[in-house]
Chain A
Amino acid sequence: MDPRQDAQDRGGYVMERKKILLVDDSSTVRLMERMILARQPYDLVEARDGQEGVEKARAEKPDLILMDVVMPRMTGFEACKKLREADETKAIPVIMVTTRGELDSVETGYAAGCSDYVTKPISGIELLTKIRSCLGE
C-alpha cells in the first residue's frame, strides 16, 4: 500500500514532495547530496554539467536547483544566468554549491541570480536548512 495514500485515507497531512535538481560534474558530490537528502520528502533529478542542468530544469520544472560552480561545457554561474533569462525557469531558487567560499565568488553567484550558496565540503545540516528556507518550509 502506498504510505502517502494510506496517510491521506486516515485523514493525515501528507507533505507535498518537492523536486530538486542536482547539477554537478562530480559523481562523488551528487552521491553525497543524495545521501544527505535521502529520507527527505524530495524527488531528486541529476545533471552532470551546467548545460544539461539548464535543459533538465526546463524539462523537469524542479522546485529547487543545487548547482555546482566549476563544471565543463557551462559553469554554474552561466547556467544560473540562463535560468534567470527564461520565463519558465526564472523563479526556480538556485543554491550554488562551491568550494570557493571567498566573497568575490559569493558576489558573482548572487549577481548571476542565485538564491543562496553552500560551501564544500557540504554540511548536511546547513544544506537541509538552506533548502528548506528556499522552499519556504
Chain B
Amino acid sequence: MSDGIRPTQPEPFAAAIAATAAAGRHGRDLQSVNERLRNLISSLRTEQTRLEEWRTSPTATPPAATPPPPPAAPPPAAPPGSSDQDRRRLEAELALAHEAAAHAREERERLRAQLSELEQENRRLCDQFVETQEQVLELAQRFVALSRLNGARDRTEGLEVVQEVVINLIGSEELAVFAREEGALTLLHTFGVSADRAGRLAGASGALARAAREGEPFVASGDAAAPGEEDLTACIPLRCGAQVVGVIAVFRLLGHKPGLSASDHAVFDLLADHAGAALRLSKPARAA
C-alpha cells in the first residue's frame, strides 16, 4: 500500500497522486495478465487441435509435444464409508485369526502334554505288566517245585525232582546232592559234574560243610573263591525241621544266564524247606 507513496507530500494531493499511480499500475498488471491468458488459451487451442487430429488418424504419429497418456483410471469409487467398513471387517477377521491361532497353539500344547502323560502311563503299565508277569512266574515256579517235591514217592524220585528243579527253574546243568548223617556229608547224586569233583567239596572247611553246619545257604558273591570252589554258585542246606539232613551244591549256571535272581533265591528257600523232608520222609517208605 505504501508503494510510490511519498510521505513528504501533503495529504490530499499525495493521496490523489497515489491513487492515480496505483490505478495505472493495476491497469498495467491486468493488461499483462490478460495478455498471458490469451496466449495460454491460444496455446491450448492449438494443442487441442493437434490432439484431435491425432485421435482421428490412428496411423498418424503422435505429436512430439503430446504429453504421456494419463495413468489408468482408478477402480470405481466405493460408496462413501465402505473402505472403513472393509478395514474394520478385515481387522476383526485378523483378530479372530490371531485368536484361533493362539487357541490352536494352546490346544497343541495341551495335546502334547496329554500325549506325554499317556506315554508315561503306558511305560508305567508296561513296567507293571512285566513286574506282574515276573511275580506270576515266580509263583508258578514255587508252585511247580512244591508240587513236584511233595509228589516224590521215594529218595530216587526226590533226587530226580531236585535235579529237574535246579536244571529247569534255576538254570544250571551241574549239581550234586549230599546227605548229612551224624555231621558227615555223603555224596548221593551228581549231574553234569564228576563224583570226584563233587566229593572234593565235602571237606570240613569248605562252603558246603559250612552251609550244612550253620543251616544257612551259601551264594557265591563274586569275590575270590576258595581253592576247588571256583565253579560253585550256591550251597543250599536241606532242612527237616531244625535238622540239616543234606546239602545241594549248584555249580556253574547256564551260559545264557547272567546270574541269580530274586526268584532263584525263592526257589532255593523252597528247596531248603521241602527237599530235605522229601528225601528224609521218602527213605523209610521205600524200605517198607
Contact = CB atoms under 8 A, between A and B. Distances in A.
Interface residues of A, number: 19
B164 A27 contact: yes
Contacts of B255: 101-102
A58 B104 CA distance: 63
Nearest to A24: B168
Interface string B219-231: 0000000000000
Main secondary structure of the interface of B (DSSP, over half): helix
A99 B192 CA distance: 13
B141 A32 contact: yes
Contacts of B145: 28
Contacts, number: 60
Interface residues of B, number: 25
B161 interface: yes
B235 to A, nearest CB: 20
Interface centre among A35, A36, A100, A102 (most CB of B within 10 A): A35
B144 A120 contact: no
B232 interface: no
User: Nearest 9 CB-CB pairs, A to B?
Assistant: A101-B256, A35-B140, A28-B164, A124-B137, A121-B171, A31-B144, A32-B144, A29-B168, A26-B164
Interface of B: 130, 133-134, 136-137, 140-141, 143-145, 147-148, 161, 164-165, 167-171, 173, 254-257
Interface of A: 26-29, 31-32, 35-36, 99-102, 119-125
